[in-house]
């Protein structure tokens, strides 16, 4: 009898027993999984952040270590679970399809930040809850935003100063995250056949994994983004996926965030 392939892992929160058996290691800030975390997942009261070693930069280069600590403390004060994912933690919940697509990104020399965008959705598909970029910080009223019913997509201003859907904050249940990830993989298959994207790597990243892809999915499914995002968060917009010389937005851009400091 031929060996059977291993079944795909279920997209659901890990139980306490499962977590202890595989010793899920996400970050030093993440303590051992507690049984109450399963209930927090059901209520979307879990915040995910991700840092993958995609360039020679570290978390300290962008102050992500400090921002992570802000969110860890915020979660502790507001009854949320905090998870800072890395390669090891995502690998625990990836399916064979996830690994296949990430290998394609590497082998086809696509923009490495596609891995990060896939990681956001992999984490949300596995646990549900809220994903928040590491260059986004809370304000005093952030909790009221995070308590809105899913799905929640945020916004940003593009280079033409137009307000558009973005993914620096996403609140999704597991099923919806799976739908978006499946859609992303379909877009990769289609767009990868277009030769112009062999050179336009950032554009390809946006089209198959980043904001453009998510916005297209949201529009097709009648889901609107939250236009008041900047009233509840401080978005530093480090743009780590851009070349160093253009990594930060110019000061000429309209500031929607105000002067309020993170809590």
Q: Which CATH number fits domain 16-246: 1.10.260, 3.30.530, 3.90.550, 2.50.20?
A: 3.90.550
Question: Alpha helices, DSSP H only, in 108-226?
Answer: 113-127, 142-146, 174-191, 201-208, 211-220
pTM of whole model > 0.75? yes
pLDDT at 31: 42
Q: What is the pLDDT of residue 257?
A: 41
Q: Which residues of the chain have pLDDT under 50?
A: 2-3, 5-33, 241-261
pLDDT at 160: 77
Q: Which residues pair with 169 in a beta bridge?
A: 132
Q: What is the largest CA-CA distance in the chain?
A: 67
User: What is residue 93's predicted lDDT score, i.e. its pLDDT?
Assistant: 94
Query: Please, which contacts does 240-248 make with residues 24 or more away whose CB atoms are closer than 8 Å?
Result: 240/55, 240/57, 240/62, 240/113, 240/135, 241/111, 241/113, 241/116, 241/202, 241/205, 242/202
């Amino acid at each position: 009898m031929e060996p059977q392939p291993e079944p795909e892992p279920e997209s659901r929160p890990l139980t306490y027993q499962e977590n202890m058996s595989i010793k899920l290691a996400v970050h030093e800030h993440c303590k051992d999984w507690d049984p109450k975390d399963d209930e927090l997942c059901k209520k979307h009261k879990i915040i995910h952040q991700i840092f993958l070693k995609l360039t020679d930069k570290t978390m300290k280069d962008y102050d992500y270590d400090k921002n992570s600590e802000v969110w860890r403390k915020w979660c502790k004060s507001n009854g949320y679970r905090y998870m800072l994912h890395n390669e090891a933690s995502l690998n625990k919940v990836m399916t064979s399809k996830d690994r296949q697509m990430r290998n394609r990104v590497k082998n086809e020399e696509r923009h490495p930040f596609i891995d990060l965008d896939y990681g956001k959705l992999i984490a949300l598909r596995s646990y549900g809850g809220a994903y928040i970029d590491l260059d986004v910080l809370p304000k005093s009223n952030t909790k009221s935003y995070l308590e809105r019913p899913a799905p929640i997509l945020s916004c940003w201003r593009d280079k033409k100063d137009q307000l558009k859907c973005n993914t620096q904050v996403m609140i999704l249940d597991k099923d919806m995250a799976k739908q978006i990830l499946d859609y992303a993989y379909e877009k990769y298959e289609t767009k990868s056949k277009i030769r112009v994207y062999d050179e336009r790597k950032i554009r390809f990243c946006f089209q198959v994994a980043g904001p453009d892809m998510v916005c297209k999915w949201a529009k097709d499914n009648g889901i609107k983004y939250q236009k008041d995002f900047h009233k509840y968060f401080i978005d530093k917009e480090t743009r780590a996926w851009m070349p160093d010389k253009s990594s930060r937005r110019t000061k000429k851009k309209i500031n929607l965030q105000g002067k309020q400091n993170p809590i």
